[in-house]
Amino acid sequence: MVKPLIDVKNLRKEYKLPSNVVTALDGVDFTVAEKEFCILYGPSGSGKTTLLNLMGLIDVPTDGKIFVEGEDTQGFNRVKRADFRLNNIGFIFQKYYLLDELTAVENVLVPALAKGGNIKELSHKTEGILGLVGLKERVHHKPKHLSEGEKQRVAVARSLINEPKILLCDEPTASLDAENGTMILDLLKKINKEEGVTIFLITHDERQLSYADKIIHIADGKITKEENR
Protein backbone atom coordinates (compact mmCIF):
# COMPACT_ATOMS: atom_id res chain seq x y z
CA MET A 1 0.00 0.00 0.00
CA VAL A 2 1.34 3.44 -0.99
CA LYS A 3 1.92 5.76 1.96
CA PRO A 4 0.06 9.09 1.83
CA LEU A 5 2.08 12.26 1.32
CA ILE A 6 0.35 13.85 4.33
CA ASP A 7 -1.08 11.84 7.21
CA VAL A 8 -2.89 13.73 9.99
CA LYS A 9 -3.64 11.68 13.08
CA ASN A 10 -5.90 12.64 16.01
CA LEU A 11 -4.96 16.31 15.71
CA ARG A 12 -6.14 18.57 18.49
CA LYS A 13 -5.61 22.29 19.02
CA GLU A 14 -6.69 24.19 22.14
CA TYR A 15 -6.32 27.84 22.99
CA LYS A 16 -6.20 28.73 26.68
CA LEU A 17 -8.04 31.93 27.49
CA PRO A 18 -8.17 33.65 30.88
CA SER A 19 -11.60 32.23 31.68
CA ASN A 20 -11.81 29.04 29.60
CA VAL A 21 -10.24 26.75 26.98
CA VAL A 22 -11.35 26.95 23.34
CA THR A 23 -11.00 23.77 21.27
CA ALA A 24 -10.36 24.74 17.64
CA LEU A 25 -9.64 21.20 16.41
CA ASP A 26 -10.90 18.05 18.08
CA GLY A 27 -9.43 14.70 16.99
CA VAL A 28 -8.91 15.40 13.29
CA ASP A 29 -7.81 12.48 11.07
CA PHE A 30 -7.29 12.43 7.29
CA THR A 31 -4.73 11.73 4.58
CA VAL A 32 -3.71 13.51 1.39
CA ALA A 33 -2.19 11.54 -1.47
CA GLU A 34 0.74 12.72 -3.55
CA LYS A 35 -0.33 14.94 -6.49
CA GLU A 36 -3.88 15.20 -5.11
CA PHE A 37 -5.99 18.37 -5.26
CA CYS A 38 -7.63 18.29 -1.84
CA ILE A 39 -10.16 20.86 -0.62
CA LEU A 40 -11.02 21.39 3.04
CA TYR A 41 -14.56 22.77 3.03
CA GLY A 42 -16.44 24.31 5.91
CA PRO A 43 -17.97 27.50 7.32
CA SER A 44 -16.06 30.34 8.96
CA GLY A 45 -14.91 29.38 12.44
CA SER A 46 -14.83 25.64 11.70
CA GLY A 47 -11.06 25.32 12.22
CA LYS A 48 -9.86 25.48 8.59
CA THR A 49 -7.13 28.10 9.00
CA THR A 50 -6.00 26.60 12.30
CA LEU A 51 -5.52 23.27 10.54
CA LEU A 52 -3.67 24.86 7.64
CA ASN A 53 -1.27 26.61 10.03
CA LEU A 54 -0.55 23.31 11.77
CA MET A 55 0.05 21.52 8.46
CA GLY A 56 2.39 24.31 7.39
CA LEU A 57 4.35 24.02 10.66
CA ILE A 58 3.54 27.64 11.46
CA ASP A 59 1.86 26.53 14.70
CA VAL A 60 2.09 23.41 16.86
CA PRO A 61 -0.79 21.13 17.89
CA THR A 62 -1.89 20.52 21.46
CA ASP A 63 -1.99 16.82 20.66
CA GLY A 64 -1.80 14.50 17.65
CA LYS A 65 0.64 14.00 14.78
CA ILE A 66 1.29 15.28 11.27
CA PHE A 67 3.39 12.99 9.09
CA VAL A 68 4.79 14.19 5.75
CA GLU A 69 6.22 11.40 3.58
CA GLY A 70 6.20 9.23 6.70
CA GLU A 71 8.25 11.70 8.75
CA ASP A 72 6.82 12.81 12.09
CA THR A 73 7.00 16.61 12.06
CA GLN A 74 6.28 16.81 15.78
CA GLY A 75 9.91 16.00 16.49
CA PHE A 76 11.16 19.05 14.60
CA ASN A 77 12.76 21.92 16.49
CA ARG A 78 12.23 25.53 15.43
CA VAL A 79 15.14 25.56 12.96
CA LYS A 80 14.14 22.28 11.30
CA ARG A 81 10.53 23.45 11.03
CA ALA A 82 11.64 26.56 9.18
CA ASP A 83 13.96 24.56 6.93
CA PHE A 84 11.23 22.03 6.18
CA ARG A 85 8.80 24.80 5.19
CA LEU A 86 11.40 26.44 2.98
CA ASN A 87 12.15 23.24 1.07
CA ASN A 88 8.80 21.45 0.94
CA ILE A 89 5.83 23.80 1.36
CA GLY A 90 4.52 26.77 -0.61
CA PHE A 91 1.89 29.10 0.83
CA ILE A 92 -0.83 31.14 -0.88
CA PHE A 93 -2.93 33.39 1.34
CA GLN A 94 -6.02 35.59 0.97
CA LYS A 95 -3.76 38.63 1.07
CA TYR A 96 -0.89 38.75 -1.37
CA TYR A 97 1.83 40.01 1.00
CA LEU A 98 3.83 41.51 -1.85
CA LEU A 99 6.53 44.07 -1.10
CA ASP A 100 5.45 47.34 -2.71
CA GLU A 101 8.96 48.53 -3.49
CA LEU A 102 9.87 45.35 -5.41
CA THR A 103 8.93 44.31 -8.94
CA ALA A 104 7.03 41.10 -9.66
CA VAL A 105 10.22 39.20 -10.43
CA GLU A 106 11.89 40.50 -7.26
CA ASN A 107 8.89 39.55 -5.10
CA VAL A 108 8.95 36.00 -6.47
CA LEU A 109 12.70 35.79 -5.94
CA VAL A 110 12.56 36.57 -2.19
CA PRO A 111 11.97 32.99 -0.86
CA ALA A 112 14.70 31.61 -3.15
CA LEU A 113 17.29 33.96 -1.66
CA ALA A 114 16.89 32.18 1.69
CA LYS A 115 18.19 28.99 0.06
CA GLY A 116 21.09 30.69 -1.69
CA GLY A 117 22.25 30.12 -5.25
CA ASN A 118 23.29 32.05 -8.30
CA ILE A 119 21.21 35.24 -8.58
CA LYS A 120 21.36 35.31 -12.38
CA GLU A 121 20.15 31.70 -12.64
CA LEU A 122 17.45 32.28 -10.01
CA SER A 123 16.23 35.41 -11.82
CA HIS A 124 15.95 33.45 -15.06
CA LYS A 125 14.02 30.71 -13.24
CA THR A 126 11.75 33.33 -11.66
CA GLU A 127 10.90 34.87 -15.02
CA GLY A 128 10.03 31.40 -16.30
CA ILE A 129 7.62 30.81 -13.43
CA LEU A 130 6.00 34.20 -14.00
CA GLY A 131 5.53 33.11 -17.61
CA LEU A 132 3.86 29.92 -16.37
CA VAL A 133 1.27 31.99 -14.47
CA GLY A 134 0.66 34.27 -17.46
CA LEU A 135 2.72 37.29 -16.39
CA LYS A 136 5.55 37.17 -18.90
CA GLU A 137 4.93 40.78 -19.88
CA ARG A 138 4.59 42.04 -16.29
CA VAL A 139 7.79 40.78 -14.66
CA HIS A 140 9.21 44.26 -14.05
CA HIS A 141 5.98 45.85 -12.81
CA LYS A 142 5.59 46.79 -9.15
CA PRO A 143 2.40 45.81 -7.28
CA LYS A 144 0.82 49.26 -7.68
CA HIS A 145 0.82 48.69 -11.45
CA LEU A 146 -0.79 45.23 -11.24
CA SER A 147 -4.45 44.27 -11.02
CA GLU A 148 -5.73 42.28 -8.04
CA GLY A 149 -5.74 39.08 -10.09
CA GLU A 150 -2.19 39.74 -11.30
CA LYS A 151 -1.01 40.33 -7.72
CA GLN A 152 -2.38 36.95 -6.68
CA ARG A 153 -0.70 35.31 -9.67
CA VAL A 154 2.59 36.83 -8.50
CA ALA A 155 1.87 35.28 -5.09
CA VAL A 156 1.24 31.92 -6.77
CA ALA A 157 4.54 32.22 -8.66
CA ARG A 158 6.34 33.09 -5.42
CA SER A 159 4.93 29.96 -3.77
CA LEU A 160 6.47 27.84 -6.56
CA ILE A 161 9.99 29.28 -6.68
CA ASN A 162 11.48 26.70 -4.29
CA GLU A 163 9.74 23.81 -6.09
CA PRO A 164 7.57 22.68 -3.16
CA LYS A 165 5.93 19.28 -2.96
CA ILE A 166 2.86 20.83 -1.30
CA LEU A 167 0.94 24.07 -1.81
CA LEU A 168 -1.19 25.18 1.14
CA CYS A 169 -3.84 27.65 -0.02
CA ASP A 170 -5.83 29.72 2.49
CA GLU A 171 -8.97 30.96 0.67
CA PRO A 172 -6.77 32.24 -2.19
CA THR A 173 -9.68 33.76 -4.15
CA ALA A 174 -11.41 35.50 -1.22
CA SER A 175 -10.14 38.97 -2.23
CA LEU A 176 -10.91 38.52 -5.94
CA ASP A 177 -13.94 38.97 -8.16
CA ALA A 178 -15.53 35.90 -9.78
CA GLU A 179 -13.55 36.11 -13.02
CA ASN A 180 -10.16 36.46 -11.36
CA GLY A 181 -11.10 33.84 -8.76
CA THR A 182 -11.81 31.32 -11.50
CA MET A 183 -8.54 32.22 -13.19
CA ILE A 184 -6.57 31.49 -10.01
CA LEU A 185 -8.36 28.17 -9.43
CA ASP A 186 -7.78 27.14 -13.05
CA LEU A 187 -4.11 28.04 -12.60
CA LEU A 188 -3.83 25.95 -9.42
CA LYS A 189 -5.45 23.00 -11.18
CA LYS A 190 -2.97 23.36 -14.04
CA ILE A 191 -0.03 23.42 -11.60
CA ASN A 192 -1.46 20.36 -9.86
CA LYS A 193 -1.89 18.34 -13.06
CA GLU A 194 1.10 19.50 -15.10
CA GLU A 195 3.70 20.10 -12.39
CA GLY A 196 2.55 17.34 -10.00
CA VAL A 197 2.31 19.66 -7.00
CA THR A 198 -0.03 18.47 -4.23
CA ILE A 199 -2.66 21.13 -3.48
CA PHE A 200 -4.41 21.53 -0.12
CA LEU A 201 -6.91 24.38 -0.36
CA ILE A 202 -9.39 25.64 2.22
CA THR A 203 -12.65 27.34 1.30
CA HIS A 204 -16.18 28.06 2.45
CA ASP A 205 -17.34 28.47 -1.16
CA GLU A 206 -19.24 25.43 -2.44
CA ARG A 207 -18.68 26.50 -6.06
CA GLN A 208 -14.98 25.64 -5.78
CA LEU A 209 -15.52 21.98 -4.91
CA SER A 210 -15.57 20.89 -8.55
CA TYR A 211 -11.79 21.43 -8.68
CA ALA A 212 -11.09 18.80 -6.03
CA ASP A 213 -9.97 15.20 -6.31
CA LYS A 214 -10.87 14.88 -2.64
CA ILE A 215 -13.15 16.96 -0.41
CA ILE A 216 -12.85 16.97 3.37
CA HIS A 217 -15.78 18.51 5.22
CA ILE A 218 -15.11 20.18 8.56
CA ALA A 219 -17.45 21.71 11.15
CA ASP A 220 -16.82 22.79 14.74
CA GLY A 221 -13.26 21.48 14.61
CA LYS A 222 -14.20 17.95 13.51
CA ILE A 223 -14.10 16.15 10.17
CA THR A 224 -17.69 15.28 9.26
CA LYS A 225 -17.28 13.66 5.84
CA GLU A 226 -14.72 12.81 3.14
CA GLU A 227 -15.46 12.48 -0.57
CA ASN A 228 -13.23 11.21 -3.35
CA ARG A 229 -14.03 12.45 -6.84
pLDDT digits over 124-176, tens only?
Answer: 899 999 999 999 899 999 999 999 999 999 999 999 999 999 999 999 999 89
Rounded to two decimals, the pTM is 0.92
Give the residues across from 105 on adjacent strands. none
Q: Give dist(CA 61, CA 51) in Å, integer.
A: 9
Q: Give dist(CA 199, CA 181) in Å, integer.
A: 16
Burial grade of 120 (CB within 10 A; 0-12, 13-18, 19 or more) = exposed
Beta carbons within 8 Å of 36's beta carbon, 6+ residues apart: 5, 198, 199, 213, 214
- How many angstroms from the chain centroid is the CA of residue 25? 19
* 6 pLDDT above the threshold of 60: yes
DSSP string, 86-118: HHHEEEE-SS----TTS-HHHHHHHHHHTT---
The superfamily in CATH containing domain 6-228 is P-loop containing nucleotide triphosphate hydrolases (3.40.50.300)
What average pLDDT does the structure give for the chain? 93
- Tell me, what's the pLDDT at 1? 55
* 117 pLDDT above the threshold of 80: no
